[in-house]
Structure 1
Amino acid sequence: MTALAAYDLEMAMWYGQFVIRGGRGDGVPDDVLFDRAAAGEGVAGDGQSVLVLSPHQANVAMPIRVEVLTARPAGDLADWQLGYEAALSIDPEGLLLLNSPTSAQLRCAVPPDRYCVEITGRGFVAYGWPGSTNPGDHWRIRLWPSVDDVEPRRVKEWIEPPFVRT
């Protein structure tokens, strides 16, 4: 497995969600993907876009690392609190687009292809309002070429620790 590219980005994530797009295609509307993610495993996609629900309601400076790889990497889910997989096609423009409602769109150059995408996150403190607009969570998105149709699914679930009064 070889890394073709890596990008370290920062996104203002609002409303507990962000979207990963394989270009500017006319896929399923974000509100429909949101409803599917909320009713299912916290992730939904249509092959052109993947909508991810975050445990945190907001993070105005959320770090995201994007890695484009030549093959499936070694698994390291034990190092992350939450994980998802889905399929994503990058259109001929060769852009991976990331955004959250009311935030600026981020762009990464990614070779046009069909990919499996793994989205992992950690640094979570609570579901919903984390007590700050900069709670410290961060995410990683890894993509590698794949001919398989990967249904959007959760591969690791984060269980919020119980509240303990001191």
Structure 2
Amino acid sequence: MYAITADGNIVVLNPHQYNFEMRVDVELCDRPKHSERAGWQVVIDETTTRDDRGELLISSATSTSDIPISIAPGSYHIEIRGRGLQFADQPDSTSPGDVWRMQVWPADGNAEASYPPQQRWP
């Protein structure tokens, strides 16, 4: 599990190759949440800046269109969590059962130093 950040974009790579039914819950917050980290296999923290369009786009490699989420222009912290990841048991499954949550809140550079450590997939 990796997140790559460039030019305000965050690309999350999930090593399960046929995950066509991956569900992602998105929650817009007004302040940091950082709840439930212990129950997740992967937790990734990234920061992005949205321009004057004020739009966050959610898409996948297999989707035919983006899902727009309206947000105010500015910098945002994005926490992406995943659990239920299975690779050895279901390498070719199209519905491996993983669960994803993305929480977005206004970034505060001073607060980021106190965030809990990220959890990476081994």
TM-score for both structures, normalised by structure 2: 0.80
Asked whether the equivalents of residues 17 and 92 of structure 2 are also in contact (C-alpha less than 8 Å), the reply is no
Q: How do residues 92-111 of structure 1 correspond to structure 2 at under 5 angstroms?
A: 92-104=52-64, 105-111=66-72
SS at match of 1:83: strand
Q: How do residues 47-62 of structure 1 correspond to structure 2 at under 5 angstroms?
A: 48-62=8-22
Q: How do residues 10-21 of structure 1 correspond to structure 2 at under 5 angstroms?
A: none
Structure 1 residue runs of 4 or more that deviate by more than 4 Å after TM superposition: none
Task: Name the CA shift for 1:111/1:52 in 2 (closer, same or farther; >3 Å).
Answer: same
Gaps of 5+ in 2: none
Partner amino acid for 2:30?
T
Matches of 1:87 and 1:47 in 2, distance apart?
Answer: 11
SS at match of 1:59: coil
Matches of 1:47 and 1:117 in 2, distance apart?
Answer: 15
Asked whether the equivalents of residues 123 and 136 of structure 1 are also in contact (C-alpha less than 8 Å), the reply is yes
Residue 114 (structure 1) shift: 0.6
Matches of 2:49 and 2:20 in 1, distance apart?
Answer: 28
SS at match of 1:78: helix
Asked whether the equivalents of residues 89 and 113 of structure 1 are also in contact (C-alpha less than 8 Å), the reply is yes
Residue 86 (structure 1) shift: 0.7
1:131 aligns with 2:92: yes
- Choose which of 41, 44, 57 in structure 2 pairs with 1:81: 41
SS at match of 1:88: strand
Residue 55 (structure 1) shift: 3.1
1:158 aligns with 2:111: no
Residue 47 (structure 1) shift: 5.2
Matches of 2:121 and 2:105 in 1, distance apart?
Answer: 24
Higher relative contact order (CA 8 A, sep 6+): 2
Please name the residue that 1:70 is paired with: 30
Q: How many residues align?
A: 116
TM-score for both structures, normalised by structure 1: 0.61
